[in-house]
Amino acid sequence: MQVLIENESHRAQIRAITQAAFGGDDEANLVDRLREDGLVRLSLVAVEDGQVVGHALFTVLPVSVDGREVEALCLAPVSVRPDYQGTGVGSMLIREALARLAHSGFEAVVVVGHPAYYPRFGFSAALAAKLAAPFSGEVFMALELVEGALRGESGRVSYPPAFGIVESH
């Protein structure tokens, strides 16, 4: 299995995998909107025998802590073809992406996801707890790519319009 940077030829397969993995069009449409708005900074695919079996997307996410802008990304979505789920494809994509991002100039990554899954990569709900956002609790997690990037008293996450999130604060 190879991990590659997404290219145009992968897009139809990514859409199909995302629809299958999430049981509908919402996340696939999100991927399209994020691309259209120019927010994608890293998009990796797992390819086996010429077929895309997984996808991980990282996009620009405005984050500030104590009035200081943090160069942050959102991890969303991670999609794995249903017949490959549970085989480590998603983990492989996330680990490879984080390794590529380690010295990229980005300082942090935010994810909304399963609290039993994402901590294995270093994501922490405690680290994200000080960030005002439309999400909270154990599903809202952050990871520092640069030590101390999220250090401070309080912060804010502002999801771009492509996410379709109406903020209430």
Per-residue pLDDT band for 159 (boundaries 50, 70, 90) equals very high
Number of other residues whose CB lies within 10 A of the CB of residue 72: 26
CB 56 within 8 A of CB 65: no
Per-residue pLDDT band for 90 (boundaries 50, 70, 90) equals very high
Is the pLDDT score of 166 beyond 80? no
Is the pLDDT score of 164 beyond 90? no
pLDDT digits (tens, 9 = 90+) for 13-31: 999 999 999 999 999 999 9
Q: What pLDDT is attached to residue 169?
A: 45
Is the pLDDT score of 137 beyond 70? yes
Q: What pLDDT is attached to residue 30?
A: 95
Per-residue pLDDT band for 103 (boundaries 50, 70, 90) equals confident
Residues 6+ apart with CB under 8 A from 50: none
Q: What pLDDT is attached to residue 28?
A: 96
Residue 69 backbone phi and psi in degrees, to 5: -70, 135
Q: What pLDDT is attached to residue 165?
A: 83
Is the pLDDT score of 136 beyond 90? no
Cite the beta strand spans of the chain per DSSP E: 2-5, 40-48, 51-60, 63-65, 68-70, 72-80, 108-112, 131-132, 140-144, 155-157
Q: What pLDDT is attached to residue 167?
A: 59
pLDDT digits (tens, 9 = 90+) for 36-78: 999 999 999 999 999 999 999 999 999 999 999 999 999 999 9
